[in-house]
Amino acid sequence: MVVERFRRGAEPVYRRAADEGRLLPDGLEYVESWVDERLERCFQLMETDDPALFDEWIARWSDLTDFEVVPVLSSAEAAARALPE
C-alpha cells in the first residue's frame, strides 16, 4: 500500500497523470486507489515482485508528492500468520 500526501494539492498530481499516465516502471502494477475527501492523500494498492521498483516510480513523482510505502497482507494471509496450524 502506498500513501501519498500531495504537497501542492491534488490538481498538479492529476494534471501530470492525465498528461503522462501513472509513469510506472515495468514490473510495478497499479491495482486500485482511494483518495480522502479533502483531496490531500491518496491510498494506492500496488503489486510487484521487486520492491526496488517503488524507488524508480517515486522519483518520478517526488516533486509533487510525499510517499510512504507500507507492505500489506490480505486479511486471509494475516489470519494464517496469526493463527498457524
Of residues 77, 31, 69, the one with CA closest to residue 53? 69
Closest CA to 55 of 83, 27, 31: 27
Residues of the chain with pLDDT under 70: none
pLDDT of residue 67: 98
At 75 the pLDDT is 95
Name the pTM for this structure: 0.87
pLDDT of residue 65: 97
